[in-house]
Amino acid sequence: MNIIQCYAPTNDYNKDLKDQFYDRLQCPTKDLTILMGDLNAKVGIDKTGYEDIMGQYGLGERNENGERFANLCSFNKLVIGGTIFPHKRIHKTTWTSPDRTTQNQVDHICINKKFRRTMEDVRINEELI
């Protein structure tokens, strides 16, 4: 079993540092793996090319880190939990700008695709952020 809690470099970090971070997240796919944390990755609602690891309930548009994260999940057969379950925007938002005009889903929890049925729900408790 692998349980990984991490904080990813933001979209503004240099490419080499981000590549190094994502390279370190590789795990054997036969083991149960739970990956969670502030990935600074917006995976968005467009699941084109990632239908096997994403649901239709993401938030916003994918950014560069979101593409890296989706590629990592696809390669390691990890399902992005926050995209699977239908919830109101308030229960998907993990970051809100200080002026409260921008909301993003940048924190994620993932599990191996073969264990996907064990994930019953993923939502944000707005009182905790």
Domain boundaries, the chain: 2-128
> 103-104 and 33-38 as β-strands: parallel, antiparallel, unpaired?
unpaired
Contact assessment for residue 90 and residue 129, using Cβ atoms and an 8 Å cutoff: no
Give me the mean pLDDT over the 2-21 stretch: 95
- Does residue 7 carry a pLDDT above 90? yes
In this prediction, residue 47 has a pLDDT band, given cuts at 50, 70 and 90, of very high
- Does residue 28 carry a pLDDT above 90? no
The neighbour count for residue 55, using CB atoms within 10 Å, is 19
Displacement of CA 113 from its chain's centroid (Å)? 14
The per-residue pLDDT for 122 is 96
pLDDT per position as a tens digit, 65-88: 999 999 999 999 999 999 999 999
Q: Distance between CA 42 and CA 50 in Å, rounded?
A: 14
pLDDT per position as a tens digit, 15-25: 999 999 999 98
